[in-house]
Amino acid sequence: MLSLKHIRKSFDREEVLRDVSLQVRHGEVVSILGPSGSGKTTLLRCLDFLERADGGELTLDDLHVDLAHAKRRDVLAMRRRTAFVFQNYNLFANKTARENVMEGLVTARGVSPDEARKKAEEALAWVGLLDKAGEYPSRLSGGQQQRIGIARAVVLDPEVIFLDEPTSALDPELVGEVLNVIREVARRGIAMIIVTHEMAFAREVSHHVVFMEGGRVIEEGPPEQIFSQPREERTRTFLKRYLTDSNMYYI
């Protein structure tokens, strides 16, 4: 359904993505793991044109775009069929929770305000925050903000959602509530690409796991294989270090 081919991106002279290709099928959850600076976040940002890739192709069903030369119309078309969940939530600070979820529907997709309000409240109820519909983001906890961020993405009925380290900015005790909501998204059969450091969660929720390092895909496969029998030495080293390190964070 979603296919990316030969994506390249450099910042100044630093090559951040070196020929990355990836496939996502309908309803499939793909997790991207890898050390800091491996290009995971940049890859996701290139897919939503928040960064402009130097080369590569993106195909979403019938929509085919050249990432480096996409016209404004193609960029908009791609963005209107996908959604993005940010590490820092990025809820619109001048809008209430309800207005945040309505914004894309009303302004980008031309849904009537009444219908958008209904859909927004359904989405907020679905993430368990209907009682906060009238609150501004500054009054909400990080976990609540991120759940609204997910509601804002899901309400658009996207074909795929990109999630960029959705729990990395959260206090440890708030991670669980956000992961629960992401599980629900997966259960709904919405395709996702998740950049994450939550290894146990990635293992549980993903259909496919990708390990990146140095701007390249080092290894990919089903989660059982990547986590239990990684073929590549670098994957093994990363997982070993990460699993011991992440245990230590919580002591």
Partner 1 sequence: MEALFSWQRFWADVPLLLPYFLVTVKIVFWGIGVGLVLGIVLACLRLRHLAWLEPILHIYVSFMRGTPMLVQLLIIFYGLPLVLAAVGVQEAVRWDKMVFVYAAFALNETAFLSEIFRSAILAVPAGQLEAAYAVGLTRWQAYRRIVLPQAWRIALPGFGADFIALFHGTSLAFLVGVIDIMGRAQALGASTHHALEGYLFVALLFIVCSLGLRVGFNYLDRRLAYGR
In the complex, minimum distance from the CB of residue 30 to partner 1, in angstroms, rounded to a whole number: 18
Contact 148, 100 (CB under 8 A): yes
Helix (H) / strand (E) containing 42: helix 40-47
Comparison of 89 and 126: residue with beta carbon closer to partner 1: 89
Does 92 participate in binding partner 1 (rule CB under 8 A)?
yes
Name residues contacting partner 1, limited to 96-155 (CB under 8 A): 103-104, 107-109, 135-139, 152
Contacts of 17 (CB under 8 A, 6+ apart): 7, 8, 9, 39, 42, 43, 46, 53, 215
What are residue 2's DSSP bridge partners? 24, 60
Total residues contacting partner 1 (rule CB under 8 A)?
A: 28
In the complex, minimum distance from the CB of residue 126 to partner 1, in angstroms, rounded to a whole number: 17
- Residue the block writes with tokens 């100044």: 12
Contacts of 191 (CB under 8 A, 6+ apart): 1, 2, 24, 25, 26, 27, 28, 29, 30, 159, 160, 161
Q: How many CA atoms lie within 13 A of 211 on its CB side?
A: 22
Among 15, 19, 48, 74, binds partner 1 (CB under 8 A): 48
Does 21 participate in binding partner 1 (rule CB under 8 A)?
no
In the complex, minimum distance from the CB of residue 29 to partner 1, in angstroms, rounded to a whole number: 19
Does 63 participate in binding partner 1 (rule CB under 8 A)?
no
Does 166 participate in binding partner 1 (rule CB under 8 A)?
no
In the complex, minimum distance from the CB of residue 104 to partner 1, in angstroms, rounded to a whole number: 3
Report d(CA 201, CA 204) in Å as an integer. 5
Does 93 participate in binding partner 1 (rule CB under 8 A)?
yes
Among 86, 201, 227, 238, binds partner 1 (CB under 8 A): 86
Contact 151, 96 (CB under 8 A): no
Among 36, 94, 244, 247, binds partner 1 (CB under 8 A): 94
Contact 81, 63 (CB under 8 A): yes
Q: Which stretch binds partner 1 (CB under 8 A): 27-35, 79-87, 115-123, 223-231?
A: 79-87
Contacts of 69 (CB under 8 A, 6+ apart): none
Among 30, 151, 154, 156, binds partner 1 (CB under 8 A): 156
Residues that bind partner 1 (CB under 8 A): 48-50, 76, 79-80, 83-84, 86, 88, 90-95, 103-104, 107-109, 135-139, 152, 156
